[in-house]
Amino acid sequence: MTEKSNGEIKIEKGVPIPTRRSNSRYPWREMQIGDSFVVASSAQAVHSSASYAHIKITTRAVDGGIRVWRVA
């Protein structure tokens, strides 16, 4: 979207939408239901990231951090 010199917005047609890049440090898209990993992050940070990615998880505290399972 660009503005014309008179302040109006120029409408452009046929501009493709770029693919969305994942900035997550967690492998949500590679995981299948039942897969898990251990991370040293807080459970809140992991849940927030999963929510943003529309992934359902459950977490449990384990030696070395938090184990995260993809459940849906």
Q: How far apart are CA 39 and CA 33, in angstroms?
A: 18
Q: Is residue 59 predicted with pLDDT exceeding 70?
A: yes
pLDDT tens digits for range 14-41: 999 887 666 788 999 899 999 999 999 8
Q: How many residues does the chain have?
A: 72
Rounding to the nearest 10 degrees, give the CA dihedral for residues 38, 44, 49, 51.
120
Report pTM: 0.68
DSSP 3-state assignment of 27?
coil
